[in-house]
Each structure stands twice: as structure tokens, then as C-alpha cells.
Amino acid sequence: FQVLPYPEIGAAVHVGYRDYVDVRLLVAGSYVDYFNFKGSSYRVEASVTAYPIPWIGIRVGARFLEFDFSSQTDNSRNGSFDMDLEYLGANLSLIVRI
């Protein structure tokens, strides 16, 4: 088991009139090349939040994640590692502002 940090670069955009509606878009990604390990990740998130009551909000969104990392060695005794993961999912949140 090894912890591997990977910095991300991305952009986020928030648009709306915060008292009533908020639309968000986030795009981020990274590329790493450490010793015998390299790969990349991408993340896209989008959501819409509506506030029917000033302190209660309902958020509907979607998220896409992709991770593709691999070691450059095929020797399993020396820690060979490959990961190729894609995730696409929706989310629903209740927001309470204090």
C-alpha cells in the first residue's frame, strides 16, 4: 500500500442569483509520472441548486471521473499496479444554509 499525491489543475464556474438558483461546472485533471508509475485523471462535475425556501436548497447534479494509472514494470513481486476506472453518476443533495 502506498499513498501517492497527484496535483490537479482545473477550472470552476458558478453562475446564478445565489438567493434563488446556482449553476456550477467543474473541470479538472492531472498527469503524474513518478519513478516507474504514470497516469492521468479527469473529473467533470455539473450541478443546479434551487432555493425554494431561503435557507433550504435542493441540488441535482452529475459527476464523471476517470482514473488511468499504471506501473511501468510487469513484475508483481516489485509492486506492479494498474488501475483503469470510470465513474458516471447522478447525485441529489439537500442544502441547509445557517
Retrieve residue 83's grid coordinates.
488501475
Q: What is the pLDDT of residues 8-58, one digit of tens each?
A: 899 999 999 978 999 999 999 999 887 777 889 999 999 999 999 989 999
What is the pLDDT, as a whole number, of residue 2? Answer: 60
Q: What is the pLDDT of residues 44-91, one digit of tens each?
A: 999 999 999 989 999 999 999 998 988 877 665 656 678 889 999 999
What is the pLDDT, as a whole number, of residue 82? Answer: 80
What is the pLDDT, as a whole number, of residue 64? Answer: 97
What is the pLDDT, as a whole number, of residue 72? Answer: 73
What is the pLDDT, as a whole number, of residue 76? Answer: 59
**DSSP state letters, 65-84:** EEEEEEES---GGGT--EEE
Long-range interactions of 21-24: CB distance < 8 A, separation 24+: 21/48, 21/49, 21/50, 21/51, 22/48, 22/49, 22/57, 23/47, 23/48, 23/49, 24/48, 24/49, 24/61
What is the pLDDT, as a whole number, of residue 52? Answer: 93
